[in-house]
Amino acid sequence: MTASTIFDGDFEAHLTVRGADAEKLEHYAAATGSKFVHIVLARGRVTEQPMLTIRESGPFAAVRDSVVASRNRLEAAGFPVVRTKIEAVPSAAGVPATDAEAVALGDSYYFEHHIKLLLDPDTDTSALGHLAAAHAAHLSVNARRVRNDGLVERFVTQRCRLVGAAVAAARCTALVTALEAENYRILSAEREFVVYDSDESIDSGWIDEHEERS
């Protein structure tokens, strides 16, 4: 695993597993103190993405080593990892503040924003998907999350590449504003900066970044 070592702060890592038995992976997560999430994309090459989520803090080099160790243990337990992704909070040291800094890092690094929505079960998600696509975003759901009130949660995930934190934040705000204008109920909005992604092709066909707006 390689990535810039300039980063320092709070991180979240996602280990995506191929063909996992969801129940077994969830039990493994509980036994190891990690979090199990089963993400289902609205479209794309690999729509089913069961994964473990791990939180770490400190210099990136130490975080990287800890994530590698977690990945190795997961694979030794019989869960083949097809993707390792590490995200930093936007306030972490090394996250680019300006577009020039982002360009200097390269296009393998990118901001990612997750807007959680609360929807009626009969909501037209095709219209929501079109709105999201206009902001370089698209839809997903946590398949393990079922609410008792009958409402459903959806995530709108946006990517911003080769731009600094200020531009990325503005694009996130524009997306949130567009969702609010259509009366979508927003539960939360989370911003992250991806410092390592071992296989972006897992998400091929999901988010079209060419539609991204400044």
* End-to-end CA, the chain: 32
Length of the chain: 214
Domains of the chain: 112-190 (3.30.70.380)
Report pLDDT digits (tens) over 163-205: 999 999 999 999 999 999 999 999 999 999 999 999 999 999 9
Whether 210 shows a pLDDT value over 80: the answer reads no
pLDDT in tens, 112-146: 999 999 999 999 899 999 999 999 999 999 887 77
Q: In angstroms, how far apart are the furthest CA atoms of the chain?
A: 48
Rounded to whole angstroms, the Cα distance separating 157 from 86 reads 16
pLDDT band for 213, please (50, 70, 90 cuts): very low
pLDDT of residue 212: 47
Instruction: Give the chain's radius of gyration (CA, Å).
Output: 17
Give, for 26, the enclosing helix (H) or strand (E).
helix 22-32
| pLDDT band per the 50, 70, 90 thresholds, residue 214 | very low
pLDDT tens-digit readout, 71-120: 999 999 999 999 999 999 999 999 999 999 999 999 999 999 999 999 99
Least confident stretch, 14-18, 64-68, 105-109, 140-144 = 140-144
Residue 1 pLDDT level (bands cut at 50, 70, 90): low
pTM score, whole prediction: 0.92
User: Is 195 within 8 Å of 60 (Cβ atoms)?
Assistant: yes
- At 26-59, the pLDDT tens digits run 999 999 999 999 999 999 999 999 999 999 999 9
- In order of 22, 26, 46, 131, 204, the CA distances from 88 in angstroms are 26, 24, 24, 27, 22
